[in-house]
Amino acid sequence: MDRPASRLRTTAPRYATRLSLALAALTLLPSAGCLHMLLATGIYMFQGGNIKDAECEALNGKRVVVFCSQPASQEFRHAGASRQIAQRVSELLEVNLRKKEKIDVVPQRQVDAWIDENDSDDYLELGKAVKADLIVYIDLAHFELFAGQTVYQGNSDVKLTVFDMNDGGRRVWDKELGEILYPVNAPIAIQSKSPATFQKEYVNVLSEAVGKHFYPHDPTANWAMDAMAAH
């Protein structure tokens, strides 16, 4: 069956634009590794992608505080990682939910101030203190940046839990994310970047793996992480 003319006029320019952008970008690429990555990007753009709904919609329209905890021994080795993760997840929630769902995310500077003043990691007391409706609790059972003495590979074991402070701290949603690796297949040499730079990259990857459970997202958005990690 022939497609209606109106549909052909609508879709053809869109696909042509995507393909043109991808092909133009290919001419700017200096390396074979990046060539493969951008070629696949062009194919993805041409196909149009897809969006997956949030698994947990409990945060919609609520005042939310994000708290991340990791073993003290690992906090000492990777200074500030848990606070960086909480900060980045808070940013992702605000950006992806604020306009649509009117979410109110407690600023991490307020969280940090409470922790420092009270010398406590009692997330339920924190939730009360900042008048949060819900707590997004990120439990890092493990957090590591190295796969050996000479290579980076982020490796974490993560569990998410949402607590309802308006119902006595009742658990309303949880999920074991399991192991989160970056890069997944090819660890990278430590000579390529500083530990602080790689920690920032891995914190962003891990935070996106957490945040995407709470808002609509493209499940294929991070498909090229291995290629990008090496640059």
Which pairing describes strands 63-69 and 134-146: parallel, antiparallel, or unpaired?
A: parallel
What is the residue-averaged pLDDT of the chain?
80
Residue 52 in domain: no
pLDDT in tens, 110-128: 999 999 999 888 999 999 9
Name the one residue in this structure whose structure tokens are 């003043």.
Answer: 117
Q: Is 192 helix (H, G, I), strand (E, B) or coil?
A: helix
Higher pLDDT, 19 or 191: 191
pLDDT in tens, 76-92: 677 789 999 999 999 99
189 phi, psi to nearest 5 deg? -65, 140
Q: Are 153 and 187 in contact (CB under 8 A)?
A: yes
Q: Are residues 114 and 207 in the same domain?
A: yes
Residue 152 in domain: yes
Q: Is 183 helix (H, G, I), strand (E, B) or coil?
A: coil
Residue 55 in domain: no
Q: Are residues 206 and 145 in the same domain?
A: yes
pLDDT at 174 over 80: yes
Burial (0-12, 13-18, 19+ Cβ within 10 Å), 24: exposed
Q: How far apart are the first and last CA of the chain?
A: 47
Higher pLDDT, 14 or 144: 144
Q: What's the CA angle centered on 110, arms 104 and 112, to 5 degrees?
A: 130
Q: Are residues 68 and 104 in the same domain?
A: yes
Q: Are residues 121 and 204 in the same domain?
A: yes
Q: Is 163 helix (H, G, I), strand (E, B) or coil?
A: strand
Q: Are 178 and 157 in contact (CB under 8 A)?
A: yes
CATH number at residue 196: 3.40.50
**H-state helical runs in 27-119:** 32-47, 72-77, 81-101, 108-118
Average pLDDT of the residues in 176-194: 94
Structural domain span for residue 189: 63-229
pLDDT at 16 over 80: no
Q: What stretch of H or E contains 61?
A: none
Q: Are residues 15 and 107 in the same domain?
A: no
Average pLDDT of the residues in 198-213: 96
108 phi, psi to nearest 5 deg? -65, -25
Q: Are residues 210 and 171 in the same domain?
A: yes
28 phi, psi to nearest 5 deg? -95, -5
